[in-house]
Amino acid sequence: MSGVSSLSTSLVTNPTSRLPHRAIQCIDFLGFVPKGRPINVTLSWRFPVRTQVGVIQLFGLHRTKLKLKSFAFSVPNENDQAELCDSGTCTGDEMLVPFENDENLKGPDEEIVSSVLGTEVDLLRTVEHLGSKGSVVEKLKAVYLHVLASEQWNASQLKLCHRNYLDSATNLIHYLALRCLDIQQLKEDLTLVGLMNLEIINLHVLSSLNASIRLLEALKSNSLNPKDSISAGIFTEKRLDPQNDGKFTIQAMREKASSNSEFLLGRLQDGRTTHIMVTVGQEATENETFITDLIKAGTSIIRINCAHGNPSIWSEIIKRVKESSQMLEKRCRILMDLAGPKLRTGKLKSGPSVVKISPKKNASGNVVFPAQVWLSHREAGPPPTHLSQDTVLFLDDQQFLSELEIGDTIRFSDARGKKRMLRISKKIHVFSGTVCVAECTRTAYVQSGTELHLKGKKRRSQLGKVVDVPAIEPYIRLRVGDLLVISRSSSSELDKLPVTMSGTHKITCSSGYLFDSVKPGEPIAFDDGKIWGVIKGTDISEIIVSITHASPKGSKLGSDKSINIPESNIRFEGLTSKDLMDLEFVAAHADIVGVSFVRDIHDIVVLRQELEKRKLQNLGVILKIETKSGFENLPLMLLEAMKSSNPLGVMIARGDLAVECGWEMLADIQEEIISLCGAAHIPVVWATQVLESLVKSGVPTRAEITDAAHGRRVRCVMLNKGKHIVKAVSTLDNILHSKSAERKVDVKPILLSSHHLR
C-alpha cells in the first residue's frame, strides 16, 4: 500500500499456563511516523485452548496520549490443538497515529511506542480507562502496565539468570522498559505535584511507580487503604503482583543492592559507605611500610594490573597486603586486572642508568633549598612515604653508612666528571641498619659505580659505591606536524629502520589488530588522548601517522602507553592467551578479576565458559567499560553475566572511555552507566584520574575535589599510583566519609528584628 507503514508481530501464550487468557506480551515499535501517514499492523495470535473468545487490545503511547483499538477473535479447535487465527489490520485514524488535535507532532521528532495485550474483560475495561486523556495517576498506570508487560516479554531471558540475580535482572528490565518511553511531560507533571523524579527510581522501579499511584489515588479519595494495589485490579496472578511477596519493595531492592556490593567488594568498617581502591606496582615491594600506610589511610581494595610486572612481583605484593591487613585487623581485598587486548606502544631502548640531583632554585638561579638525598643500603629500601626525599641512592656497604655522622661531608665526581659534595643532615636507625639524609647544593648526575669518599682528620678514609641506579625511562617527544612510524618490528629491530627526514619518529606495536584494522584518514590517539594524530598511510607492517595534537613544547610518548583508534572497525578476541595464563594465577591468589575491554555478549560468554571450566563460581568479576561498544551493549552484557553466580561489578574506565567516545560525552556516559548499574543492583567502581594532581604533585585542583565528592554516589573509587598516593587516600577518605556534623556547611541564620518587618 503506497504511503503506509507496515508492522507485524505475533501473540503466543505459554502452552503450559493454567490461565493462558491472562498472558501479557509487549512489542515495542520504535520509529518515526510522519503526520498523516497510516500504519498497517498485522497481528497473529495462537491459544492452546478448545474454544476461546477474547480481545486483542492495542494501545499506543505518544508523549502523554493514549489511543486504543480492539480486535475480537475466537479460536474453535475440535482437536484441542493450537491454531493460527485471523489477523487484524487497521489504518488511518483507526490506529494509533496520527493523534487528533496534537499540535506537537513534528514529523521526524515523533516516537511511537505500541504494546500488544492479550486479556479478558476486566483487563480490557482497565486498559480502556487508562487509554483516555486523563490525570497523572492514569498516565502512571499506563507506564506501570508497560513495565510489567516488558517483564513478561523478557521472561525467557530472565529465567536464565542465576537465582542470586533474578530480582535484580527483573528490575533492570523494568528500568529499560521505562527508559524506552517518552515520558518527559509525565516527569514534569509529577514535579508539579511534588512527587517522585522518574530519573532516580532506577533502584526500585516497580515499587516506586506503585507507591506513587496509590498515593495519588489516596489524595483523590482523601483516604489511604494500604491493602489497595494498582496491580491487584489488573493482574490476578500472584507472580505479577510484586507487592504480594515483597520481593520488589523499595526496602528489598535497597537491601539487594547493598548485599551485591558486599558480596563483591566486602563489608566496610567504621561506618564507611564507599570503598577506596588503589593501584600498586613494583614500588610496593621496595618499601616495607607502603602497603601498611595505604591500608591505615583508608584503602580497602588493592588493585594489581597484570599488564605490568610478573607473578613474582604480584606474589610479593599480595603477601604484603595479607600481612598488613591481618596486622591492622582491617579487611583488604585484592583485585587483579587482566591485561586484555589493549593496544599499547612497544618497548623503547632503555636510557642510561643515571639519576639527577636537583636543588631548588629561584628565578635568578640561586639555590633556595638544597636537594634532599636518601642514602641507604639496598636492603633498607626507599624512605617512608611521609618523608619527602628528592633522590634515593643505594650504597653497597652498610659499614660505610654506619660510620657516617651528622655534619660529615662526602665527596664524589658525577657522571660528567664534575666535583660535588653531600653533607649529612640526619642519621636514622632502622630495623635493617642505618640510613642517612644528605643535602646537595649543586646539580649532579649520579650513576651506578660512582664512588663516595669520606675523609676525616681523626679517622681513616672510607669508600662507598652507588649501586642499582635505575635506567632513565625512554621516550620520544612528539610535536604537531611530526610524523610517527608505527612498526610491527621488535624494539631490537627498531634502530635498524630507516628514517629519511627530520621530525620523523619510530615506535613499535606488536598487536596485529592495529595493522589489520586502520585506514588512511582515521584518527588515532596515544597515552589516554594526550597525543592525537591522523593516519596518512598503511601497509602490512607499518602505519604512518601525522601528529595533530600535542603540547606546545612537545609531548612525551614512552613504552607501554595506550593506543586508541575510536573510528576503526576493530574486533578483539575476548580473552587473550596471556589473559588465560594470568587467570590461573588470579584464581589462586585474588578475590576479584577485572576483565578489560569487554565489548559485547560474546566476550561475556567466553568469560563465563572459562570461569565454569575452572569452577571459579566464587571469584568476583568486574567488567571494565572502556569502549563505545562496551557502553552501548552494557544492559545485554549485564544480563548475560547474571547467568552465573559470580559476584559482579562494573568499572567506569574513564581514560579509554573518553578517548573512544569523545571528551564532551564522558559526563553523560558516566551518568548512564551509574543509572543502568543502579537498576541492576550492580556496584560501580569510579576510576581514572581521581585526585590525579594530588597523587602526583601533592596539591589537588578545585575541580578534582568536586569530582572526588561525586564518588559518594558509587560503591568504590579508584586511585592510581603516584608519589603522594598515601596523602591522596587520606584526603579521599575524608571527602567520602567524614561525619556530616563535621562536614556540614551552614549559612549563618538571619535574625530579623522588628524594624525589618515594618
Q: What is the pLDDT of residues 428-456, one digit of tens each?
A: 887 767 889 999 999 999 999 999 998 76
- Look at residue 242 and tell me whether its pLDDT is greater than 90: no
pLDDT (0 to 100) of residue 754 = 53
Mean pLDDT score, 329-352: 90
- Look at residue 91 and tell me whether its pLDDT is greater than 60: no
Highest averaged pLDDT of the listed ranges 18-32, 127-141, 524-538: 524-538
**Three-state secondary structure string covering 322-362:** HHHHHHHCCCCEEEEECCCCCCECCCCCCCCCEEEECCEEC
190 pLDDT band, cuts 50/70/90, is: confident
- Give the rounded percent of residues in the chain with a pLDDT score beyond 90: 44
Residues 6+ apart with CB under 8 A from 557: 345, 475, 476, 477, 478, 507, 526, 527, 531
pTM here is 0.73
pLDDT (0 to 100) of residue 8 = 40
More confident residue, 619 or 45: 619
- Look at residue 309 and tell me whether its pLDDT is greater than 80: yes
Packing angle, helices 666-679 and 634-641, rounded to 10: 30
Q: What mean pLDDT value characterizes the chain?
A: 77
- Look at residue 66 and tell me whether its pLDDT is greater than 70: no
The closest alpha carbon to 728, from 702, 710, 703, 708, belongs to 708
- Bond into 38 cis (ω within 30): no
Q: What string of DSSP letters covers 631-652?
A: HHTHHHHHHHHTTS-S-EEEEE
Secondary structure percentages of the chain, helix, strand, coil, to 5: 35, 25, 40
Q: What is the pLDDT of residues 741-755, one digit of tens each?
A: 355 555 566 655 555
pLDDT (0 to 100) of residue 343 = 87
Q: Positive or negative, the Cα torsion across 91, 94, 100, 106? A: negative
The closest alpha carbon to 650, from 714, 722, 600, 591, belongs to 714
14 pLDDT band, cuts 50/70/90, is: very low
Task: Say if CB 81 and CB 88 are below 8 A apart.
Answer: no
Q: What is the pLDDT of residues 467-512, one digit of tens each?
A: 989 888 888 999 999 999 999 866 555 555 444 455 689 999 878 7
Task: Say if CB 131 and CB 67 are below 8 A apart.
Answer: yes
219 pLDDT band, cuts 50/70/90, is: confident
Mean pLDDT score, 213-222: 76
Mean pLDDT score, 335-341: 92
- Which of left, alpha, beta for 288 (phi over 0: left; psi -120 to 50: alpha)? alpha
The C-alpha atoms of residue 65 and residue 526 are separated, in whole angstroms, by: 50
25 pLDDT band, cuts 50/70/90, is: very low
Residues 6+ apart with CB under 8 A from 120: 21, 22, 54, 55
The closest alpha carbon to 392, from 341, 340, 355, 353, belongs to 355
Mean pLDDT score, 525-542: 92
pLDDT (0 to 100) of residue 184 = 82
Residues 6+ apart with CB under 8 A from 64: 139, 183, 185, 186, 189
557 pLDDT band, cuts 50/70/90, is: very high
Task: Say if CB 80 and CB 52 are below 8 A apart.
Answer: no
Mean pLDDT score, 130-159: 81
- Look at residue 15 and tell me whether its pLDDT is greater than 80: no
Which segment of 40-49, 184-193, 513-522 scores lowest on mean pLDDT?
40-49
**Three-state secondary structure string covering 182-223:** CCHHHHHHHHHCCCCCHHHCHHHHHHHHHHHHHHHHHHHHCC
Highest averaged pLDDT of the listed ranges 33-47, 108-122, 158-172, 732-746: 158-172
- Look at residue 131 and tell me whether its pLDDT is greater than 50: no
Highest averaged pLDDT of the listed ranges 52-61, 214-223, 383-392, 745-754: 383-392
